[in-house]
Amino acid sequence: MDTPVLIASITLTAVVALIPAVSDEGSVDLSVVIPAYNETGRLPSMLEVTLTHLNSPAIKSSRTYEILIVDDGSKDDTSALALKLASHYPQSELRVVTLEKNLGKGGAVRHGMLHSRGHRLLMVDADGASRFEDLEHLWMSLDKLAPKNEPAVAVGSRAHLVKTEAVVKRSLLRNILMYGLHTILRIVGVGDIRDTQCGFKLFTRRAAQKIFPAQHLSTWIFDVELLLLAKQLSIPIIEVPVEWHEVAGSKLNIAKDSLQMLRDLLVLRGNQLVGRWKAVPL
Ligand SMILES: *[C@@H]1O[C@H](CO)[C@@H](O)[C@H](O)[C@H]1NC(C)=O
């Protein structure tokens, strides 16, 4: 009766081997991880811009890539749409992962990162608010900071846009909350990073291998935890100015999500102070 067990275990190994893990060696130059919740409206144009850039002759000849769309348990047809879009770009390595349950943006990003194959891994919002071409600025910063792809993080920053139209146009409430958030971030220990929340961050694989397995928060404030983990692990972080424009359809519910952010920051700080959430250097 040994044989069936053996067959089952071989099958399982084969299946597991098909799913990339961040702990493996990287096999493409870049992974683009796009968390998507109810994004049928904004994903198509964002994806088109992304692919146009990555497939432009200069970039395509020097860099291989994969794109991972992580559908965070959407209630609309995000996965079906993403699969349809993928079929429009048969030359591109595009994968769609559908999470059965909504984890929150941080959970979707973490899932994508843990199953990526890139030597460098980009997280980018599905709304297209960042100028995707600015990836090249992050890329060059990492070339300098980590020429051999040592652990390092380049984070897009909108801090230089403060006082420009893009920010003034944000509601007063949003600006007050941003100010409050910054005060708290100083207390938490990432106050020297001027923009923690920009959804455009590039990690070397070795940084991702250390940071994402240790990530606990899956809600909006997960960016702060990622940066805090990087600091604890002595992974260098560079802030790189990027262009950005507000896109309609934000999923942020200011009142509810601000309270949750505050709660999560306290949970994060508390767990770190008592040493429960400690990043373990590899
Ligand atoms: C997601 O989409 C579903 C179905 O269209 C809708 O009922 C729900 O309110 C949406 N959720 C958010 C947060 O936009």
**Nearest atom within ligand 1 for CA of residue 253:** 13
Q: What is the mean pLDDT of the chain?
A: 86
**Nearest atom within ligand 1 for CA of residue 251:** 13
Domain extents in the chain: 5-273
276 C-alpha to ligand 1 centroid (Å): 35
Q: Domain 5-273 classified CATH 3.30.70.20?
A: no
Is the CB of residue 72 less than 8 Å from the CB of residue 35? yes
| Residue 250 in contact with ligand 1 by CB distance below 6 A | no
- As a whole-number percent, the residues of the chain with pLDDT over 70 amount to 89
Which pLDDT value is given to residue 264? 85
183 C-alpha to ligand 1 centroid (Å): 32
pLDDT at 167 over 70: no
pLDDT in tens, 47-66: 999 999 999 999 999 999 99
| Residue 251 in contact with ligand 1 by CB distance below 6 A | yes
pTM for this structure? 0.86
